[in-house]
Amino acid sequence: MRRHIFSDVLWLCVVAIVAFSCQRDKQNYVFEKLNKVSISPDSAFAITQYDTLKFAPVYTDTKPPGVPYKYEWVIYLQNGSGSPVTLSAERNLKAAIKQSPGVYTLQCRVTDPETGIVAVKLYKVTVNGKFYSGWMVANTRNNSAHLDFIRVDDALILDPAGLANNTTYSGKAIAALSTNNSGTAIILFFTTNGVFRFNGNDFFQNAGTDKLLPGASAFSTLPAYSLNVLASEQLLISEGGLYGGISTGFGMTEAQALKPFSDRYNGDYYLFPGLAASSFYTTYVYDNKYKRFMQTGYDTRTLLPSAVNGSFDMGNVGKTAIGFDRGALDNAYPTGEYFFIMQDENNNRYVYSINKDAPAMNQLIGNSPEIGTAKYFATASSLKQLYYATDSKIYLYDMIANSSELLYTFPAGYKIADIKIQRTGTARLVVAANKGTAGEVFYFELNVRGRLVNETFSKKFQGFGEIVQVGFKN
Amino acid sequence: MKKLLFLISIVIAAFGIACKKQDVPLFSGKNGISFYKGPYDPDSLGYSFAFSLVEKQRDTIFIPMRITGPANHVARAIAVKAGDGTTAREGKDFILPEATLPADSLTVNYPVIVLNSPEMKNGTFRLVVQVAPSKDFELGALGKEIGGTTNVASMIINISAQLIRPSYWPAGGYGDFGLFSQVKFKFMMEATGLTNFDSDVIGIDQYYNLPVVLQRKLAEYEAINGPLVDEDGLRVTFN
């Protein structure tokens, strides 16, 4: 009897389950709209490292919950490694950005505690080092060498290297030069008493002459410093000699890029301070001793005479280089044209250029006032134009028309010390001039024709000692 | 009722079998030992007494070994012998000393003593070091393990007192150091005081920078002595 009861109950359960599972769904649900939160507006931020980022977004909701929202602000590096960092759990962001210079994503996340639904908004944050970009001004004041910095936002920072390293650089300033490959920013500061290397992001010194150019001792002439096109090596011309060092291209580390430079490349030569990284595989330089171009291949520490013959014989130019600058770059083939200003024994001045691997311009500079006494030269970034300066006047030489025009004359008492073209952001001619032992830096904005906007300077920076050179730091 | 009992017993039996603990296969066997090498290590080693700034009469090469089986709280004897293909002479060119695996160890570096015999100045001697049975070990398991290293029964050591091309120096040339030659290598050692120019040892910066030093030293040498010509009749250069 009990067996039958057990069996019957079992069968009853099976029938009930089958019947229930086959029941038709009547779709008679009640839908209730949930709260929807949105965050606005879109925005992007550029901020200097350690500054405070403040932002109050607008939160819009359709059905406010009875309890407060949960907020979260997180920042993480774009295209990089590292963990996200929570900046704040407040409705409005107010946080010091301590992240290293770079491009970051800032995520604002709002959670409805009742439903668990999350709204997210992403913002781009560019964190710049305090010294992210601007003009380095090499000058001498109070009987010591100084490196001052004009940031691109026009903030003038005096003596950042001296302050960062709590030291004074004795001797006279010669030049401040820099490179930056993928964030490895390097500054070389040359004085008559040695050369010093600084981290380009904070100006902390990481090497002196002994760990940078072992064996070098005397410094007096303008150096040149550049990466090759492949960014696989640093190239340096100092006192007429060529030196090579590893750069961070080809997977090399920053630590490897901070190793000492090589000894002076062997050979009988004395180079003018100009590095024409015009070609992927070859960098060209000019030997003033034997009046010829020379070249070095990538990642080889040898310097050989150039042998290309075209618009001129690169191995036998026969003139003395007195100026150098970069011209237009070919974006599709990231190399370009580099100009050398040459002088012959009769004091005639010429423009020579190398475009990629070939000789290009070879032109006697004509119809150009005071070209014979010009000391400083800078070439435009796109047009075939050359700015040249005497002690007090700035001229523009049109290479196509082969003639020049006066752009600006400094008042009496000023003596020009350097001219450079600013190649990032605005089109600008930067001129350093000294009034006695007090240096000033002038910004001249350029119009599309390469002339001065309003025929005068737009900004002037003071407070320097006697300036010898200006150089842009990326 | 009988059917129900039968069904219940089947179900219980099935559960019993399904829940039976599975035996874990364990290694059992005699303790073994073998040489081993990394995934990028060469098949043979080269040793030359010429790669020394100070003349040596003997030196020691350490060859890594590891055991198959558990560690033990006592030191155990290792035996190594010269295998087939050996041209080096025991006692004159090499010594294979008795050695032990330290207590609680799984690996050990076996010391092969190489001797600078007079004949080595004119030739290269091959020593095939091979695992021999000892009272504690027989030949261990061979082959590649999941980490990529490989157990082998023997290793080849080429011993010489000549300057032979090191394994880090490709036959086609080594950067600005160029093609290998005995004359060039000897000059490099004398000029720099170094005997190993492997970029892993000197650093990638010196791999690039040392040739500049060598070019200068060579120019100084040539200014006094004229071109330096190697054993193949080629002028020594560093570019």
Residues B148, B57 within the same domain: yes
Give yes or no for residue B23 having a pLDDT over 70.
no
Give yes or no for residue B228 having a pLDDT over 60.
yes
Q: Residue A22: its pLDDT value, please?
A: 63
Please check whether residue B60 lies inside any domain of the structure: yes
Mean pLDDT of B28-35: 87
Residues B116, B184 within the same domain: no
Contacts of B209 in chain A (CB under 8 A): 244, 260-263, 301
User: What residue ranges in A247-334 does DSSP mark as E strands?
Assistant: 271-276, 282-287, 292-297, 304-305, 320-330
Percent of chain A with pLDDT over 70: 94
Q: Among A7-16, A383-392, A427-436, name the one with the lowest average pLDDT.
A: A7-16
Min Cα distance B46 → chain A (Å) is 29
Please check whether residue B47 lies inside any domain of the structure: yes
Task: Tell me whether strands B44-48 and B154-160 are parallel, antiparallel or unpaired.
Answer: parallel
Q: Which residues contact A206 (CB under 8 A, 6 or more apart)?
A: A197, A198, A199, A258
Please check whether residue B204 lies inside any domain of the structure: yes
Q: Which of B8, B192, B204, B209 to mutate to test the interface with A (most CBs of A within 10 A)?
A: B209
Residues B58, B175 within the same domain: no
Percent of chain A with pLDDT over 90: 75
Q: Which of A6, A10, A301 to mutate to test the interface with B (most CBs of B within 10 A)?
A: A301
Please check whether residue B192 lies inside any domain of the structure: yes
C-alpha to C-alpha distance for B172 and B180, rounded to whole angstroms? 9
C-alpha to C-alpha distance for B193 and B216, rounded to whole angstroms? 15
Q: Burial level of B53, CB count in 10 A (0-12/13-18/19+)?
A: exposed
Is residue A158 very low, low, confident or very high in pLDDT (cuts 50, 70, 90)?
very high
pTM score of the predicted model: 0.76
Residues B148, B185 within the same domain: no
Instruction: Among B128, B160, B192, give the residue marking a domain's end.
Output: B160
Q: Which helix (H) or strand (E) holds B221?
A: helix B204-225
Q: Contact at 8 Å (CB) between A402 and A367?
A: yes
Give the count of beta carbons closer than 10 Å to the beta carbon of residue A259: 19
Burial string for B204-233 (b: 16+ CB within 10 Å, else e) reads bbbbbbbbbbbbbbbeebeeeeeebebeee
Mean pLDDT of A151-167: 94
Residues B140, B171 within the same domain: no
Among B205, B211, B212, select the one facing A256 at the smallest CB separation. B205
Alpha helix positions (H), A357-458? none
Q: Does B140 contact chain A (CB < 8 Å)? A: no
C-alpha to C-alpha distance for A295 and A291, rounded to whole angstroms? 13
User: A-contacting residues of B 159-218, CB under 8 Å?
Assistant: 176, 203-205, 208-209, 211-213, 215-216
Mean pLDDT of B62-75: 93
Min Cα distance B10 → chain A (Å) is 18
Q: Which domain holds residue B222?
A: 165-239
Is residue B2 very low, low, confident or very high in pLDDT (cuts 50, 70, 90)?
low
Q: Residue A35: its pLDDT value, please?
A: 85
Residues B154, B169 within the same domain: no
Give yes or no for residue B94 having a pLDDT over 70.
yes
Q: Among A132-136, A342-346, B42-46, B156-160, name the one with the lowest average pLDDT.
A: B42-46
Per-residue pLDDT tens digits for A211-244: 999 878 889 999 999 999 999 999 999 999 999 9
Q: Residue A329: its pLDDT value, please?
A: 76
Among A3, A262, A266, select the one facing B208 at the smallest CB separation. A262
Give yes or no for residue B97 having a pLDDT over 60.
yes
* CATH 2.130.10.10 domain position(s) in chain A: 134-473
Min Cα distance A465 → chain B (Å) is 38
Min Cα distance B171 → chain A (Å) is 19
Contacts of A233 in chain B (CB under 8 A): 208
Residues B108, B202 within the same domain: no
Identify the CATH number of the domain defined by range A37-128.
2.60.40.10
Retrieve residue A190's tokens.
């040359």
Q: What is the ipTM of this complex?
A: 0.73
Q: Domain A134-473: which CATH class?
A: mainly beta
Q: Contact at 8 Å (CB) between A171 and A161?
A: no
Cα distances (Å, whole numbers) of residue A155 to A152, B145, B169, B208: 7, 61, 53, 40
Q: Residue B119: its pLDDT value, please?
A: 92
Q: Can the peptide bond before residue B64 be classed as cis, meaning omega within 30 degrees of 0?
A: no
Give the count of beta carbons closer than 10 Å to the beta carbon of residue A298: 20
Q: Which of B205, B207, B217, B237 to mutate to test the interface with A (most CBs of A within 10 A)?
A: B205
Among B204, B212, B219, select the one facing A265 at the smallest CB separation. B212
Q: Among A100-114, A143-157, A272-286, A446-460, name the one with the lowest average pLDDT.
A: A100-114
DSSP string, B2-71: HHHHHHHHHHHHHHHHHTPPPPPP---S--EEEEEE-TT--SEEEEETTS-SS--SEEEEEEEEEEES--
Q: Residue B6: its pLDDT value, please?
A: 61
- Identify the closest residue of chain B to A256 by CA–CA distance: B205
Please check whether residue B147 lies inside any domain of the structure: yes
3-state secondary structure of A20: helix
Per-residue pLDDT tens digits for A102-133: 889 999 999 998 888 899 999 999 988 888 89
Average pLDDT over chain B, rounded to whole? 89
Q: Phi/psi class of residue A226: alpha, beta or left (left: φ > 0; alpha: ψ in -120 to 50)? A: beta
Residues B153, B173 within the same domain: no
Beta-sheet strand order (sheet of A241-246): A224-227, A233-238, A241-246
Residues B133, B173 within the same domain: no
Is residue A162 very low, low, confident or very high in pLDDT (cuts 50, 70, 90)?
very high
Per-residue pLDDT tens digits for A363-405: 999 999 999 999 999 999 889 999 999 999 999 999 999 999 9
C-alpha to C-alpha distance for A146 and A139, rounded to whole angstroms? 5
Residues B156, B191 within the same domain: no
Instruction: Among B160, B186, B214, give the residue marking a domain's end.
Output: B160
Please check whether residue B150 lies inside any domain of the structure: yes
Per the structure, how many domains does chain B have? 2
Q: Residue B225: its pLDDT value, please?
A: 97
Q: Does B7 contact chain A (CB < 8 Å)? A: no
Q: Burial level of A16, CB count in 10 A (0-12/13-18/19+)?
A: exposed
Q: Which residues contact A135 (CB under 8 A, 6 or more apart)?
A: A149, A150, A420, A422, A430, A441, A470, A471, A472, A473
* Residues B200, A277, A293: CA angle, nearest 5 degrees: 105
Instruction: Among B124, B142, B160, give the residue marking a domain's end.
Output: B160
Among B4, B204, B212, select the one facing A301 at the smallest CB separation. B212
Retrieve residue B19's tokens.
């829940």
Give yes or no for residue A452 having a pLDDT over 70.
yes
Per-residue pLDDT tens digits for A461-471: 999 999 999 99
Min Cα distance A66 → chain B (Å) is 52
The answer to whether B204 contacts A246, with C-beta atoms less than 8 Å apart, is: yes
* CATH 2.60.40.10 domain position(s) in chain A: 37-128
Min Cα distance B12 → chain A (Å) is 19
Q: Residue A64: its pLDDT value, please?
A: 81
Residues B220, B187 within the same domain: yes
Q: Residue B15: its pLDDT value, please?
A: 54
Give the count of beta carbons closer than 10 Å to the beta carbon of residue A357: 17
Q: Burial level of B122, CB count in 10 A (0-12/13-18/19+)?
A: exposed
Average pLDDT over chain A, rounded to whole? 92
Per-residue pLDDT tens digits for A58-95: 999 888 877 889 999 999 988 766 789 999 999 999 99
Closest CA to A382 of A327, A333, A314, A332: A327
Contacts of B208 in chain A (CB under 8 A): 233, 244, 246, 262, 299, 301
Residues B59, B176 within the same domain: no
Q: Residue A198: its pLDDT value, please?
A: 96
Per-residue pLDDT tens digits for A291-350: 999 999 998 999 999 999 999 999 999 999 999 999 887 776 767 899 999 999 999 999
Please check whether residue B27 lies inside any domain of the structure: no
